[in-house]
Amino acid sequence: MARMAGTAARAEALLGLGVVSTTPVAGGDICTSTRLRLTDGRGAIIKTRPHPPEGFFEREAEGLRWLADADGAHVPHVLAVADDCLVLDWIEPGKPTTDVAERFGRALAATHQAGADVFGGDQDGFVGLAPLPNRPLPTWPEFFASRRVMPYVRAAVDRQALTGEEAATIEAAMRRIHDFAGPEEPPARIHGDLWSGNLVWGSDGNVWLIDPAAHGGHRETDLAMLALFGIPHLQRVIDAYDEATPLAAGWRDRVGLHQLHPLLVHATLFGGTYGARAAAAAQSLLDGKTS
């Protein structure tokens, strides 16, 4: 295998180990990922990006460590982090199976149950390259409306990805968010960007969490994100989760509420139909329809 000298040298400087070989890893439009084979026999992956936002890789590393501390869902070990890159253990991909899905559902429940001190966090973060405001608020509805939905309504309108009428519909839903939010729950320790691309179905029989936007939030947010773009054996994941830590009554009716933030982020970043989908989800809440 070819050895990419610059990438290898950066990893060697951070790890204090030699790099035997490097292999590009396909996928991902935010960072360049490269698999490393180290002189001690281990595999690793280095993520790099020229001129990333300040704190970009540091926030990711902190999120991974925080999720790992829950002793629930599996998280790759952070080997090194710097302003321009992040080095993690390599996770060998495997196949999605129902058994692995069940284990993941139970493990994710354990991660959420580890909890958080507040709704939010002590520092702002990122969802992809987009900013993620984390200044805490006392309740989840306040936090979700003020820190997740409304900043992206404004951003999507500015980028002409959301019409004034669509924005007004979402704003109306946020004014009534306490009607839709369900029973109060304490802050959960959530991944925050849990779509299928941020899961690795490992050859070891576990699902591994990567690329978090970790914060103290509502556990239904992670489950709604899984449903938004779909993952293999989703129902098995949900069933195992619900058996381990029962979901509050009516959680299915709240899926659309929890999907508002990722839909608005996508509208802001990519345009397309995401803004209209967010407005439709908000209208369904106002109409009293299930998602």
Q: Which residues are catalytic?
A: 193
Residue 147 carries which DSSP code?
I
Q: For the CA atoms of the chain, what is the radius of gyration?
A: 19
Q: Are 142 and 253 in contact (CB under 8 A)?
A: no
* Full 3-state SS string of 165-220: HHHHHHHHHHHCHHHHCCCCCCCEEECCCCCHHHEEEECCCCEEECCCCCEEECHH
Rounded CA separation 161/278 (Å): 11
Paired strand residues for 44 = 36, 89
Q: Are 40 and 17 in contact (CB under 8 A)?
A: yes
